[in-house]
Amino acid sequence: MNLRAVQRHIITGNAVHATGQSSPQLQSHNHTDAAFLGLIRHFCPDVVIENDKHLMHVSCTLWDKRGEVLSAMQAYVVEAQLSGLAAAKSVYKAYEFYCHQQRVKNQNQTQNTHHLIVSKKYFEKICSENGF
């Protein structure tokens, strides 16, 4: 079973024991990080887990966090140049711009999609990696 299937079964409460009976603990949605890490380590032993928190070199087709941050950074620089301000005021201002941009996308959505917002720490990491 691949990671996506494991996640889908756990999240929807369809996990079953080897005996074929439903798992009441998983159905209660009372999951711990240790349980998820154990499942990932068991079903996907090649996935690198950093600090028992970050899955390295694993991407999600539903949300391109890095791409959204980079596009927001580019839009921020363009807007700053158009308004005659210095291109990079601060990473904090760029993060505020990004958050505002994501909220506007959420308000303008006609579908059932929701634009998530990355953490400030992740945003700062992407900024520093890309020389912003």
pLDDT in tens, 31-42: 788 888 899 899
Does the pLDDT at position 111 exceed 70?
Answer: no
Alpha-carbon distance of 1 to 33, in angstroms, equals 20
Per-residue confidence band for 14, with pLDDT thresholds at 50, 70 and 90: very low
| pLDDT for residue 29 | 56
Query: Is the model's pLDDT at 93 over the cut of 60?
Result: yes
Q: What is the mean pLDDT of residues 87-115?
A: 77
Are the beta carbons of 72 and 101 closer than 8 angstroms?
Answer: yes
Arithmetic mean of pLDDT, 113-123: 82
